[in-house]
Amino acid sequence: DAGVTQSPTHLIKTRGQQVTLRCSPKSGHDTVSWYQQALGQGPQFIFQYYEEEERQRGNFPDRFSGHQFPNYSSELNVNALLLGDSALYLCASSLFRGAQETQYFGPGTRLLVL
Amino acid sequence: DAKTTQPTSMDCAEGRAANLPCNHSTISGNEYVYWYRQIHSQGPQYIIHGLKNNETNEMASLIITEDRKSSTLILPHATLRDTAVYYCIVRVPQAAYKYIFGTGTRLKVLA
């Protein structure tokens, strides 16, 4: 049973460019969350998708957008990249069960913005 | 934003039990305590979670105090591969869909 997979593993972009990161959830999971982790910090919640809708959003600007497909996979898009967007981007999948929902994380995509 | 407090770092001798404390004094009655660990910038790995009873699985044990204001994650026989940052997370009911990570405890297992 494959766990959460993310692509690409590493990415280098320049300021002002746009980037798309991809995530395939663990088999049987219907919910995908995205997190940003800057160096030396804990992961910060960006947003969560369930039934192809954004269910909740963290404190991130509109430059960060996402999408969930019918097969539950998801994309994170970041427009107009800034140097400060350099981080490890983590995808987590879960099966929604309210307060007991357990999220399983992928290996992450490391984005470097020059 | 984090509702948990953890020591910044801890050392543990290989083969000994590692006891990682977490304070969550403002926890509400329906909030679960979750533990994850992150090994050198890999994705966080789920360890265990609990509500009020002690829990044990193949990785660790979770001891939650009776008043639920604190908990301890126990790795019974720490190995070098347990060196990681350990995060204690409380699910916030009004934001039930996200985890709020603090800065975690950096555990170093010493040979």
Segment B22-50, tens digit of pLDDT = 999 888 877 889 999 999 879 999 999 99
Using an 8 Å Cβ cutoff, are B83 and B26 in contact? no
Q: Please state the three-class secondary structure of chain B as a single string.
A: CCCCECCCEEEEECCCCEEEEEECCCCCCCCCEEEEEECCCCCCEEEEEECCCCEECCCCEEEECCCCCEEEEEECCCCHHHCEEEEEEECCHHHCCCCCCCCCEEEEEEC
Across the interface, whether the CB atoms of A56 and B103 are under 8 A apart is answered: no
In B, which residues are within 8 Å of A51 by CB distance? none
**pLDDT by residue (tens digit) across A43-83?**
999 999 999 999 889 999 999 999 999 999 999 999 999 99
Q: How far off is chain A from B31, nearest CA to CA, in Å?
A: 7
Query: Which residue in B44, B96, B101 is closest to A98 by CB distance?
Result: B96
Q: What is the pLDDT of residues B66-103, one digit of tens each?
A: 999 999 999 999 999 999 999 999 876 555 667 888 88
pLDDT at residue B9 is higher than 70: yes
In angstroms, rounded to a whole number, what is the distance separating the alpha carbons of residues B65 and A2? Answer: 36
Is the distance from CB of A86 to CB of A95 less than 8 angstroms? no
- Chain A residues near residue B34 by CB distance under 8 angstroms: 102
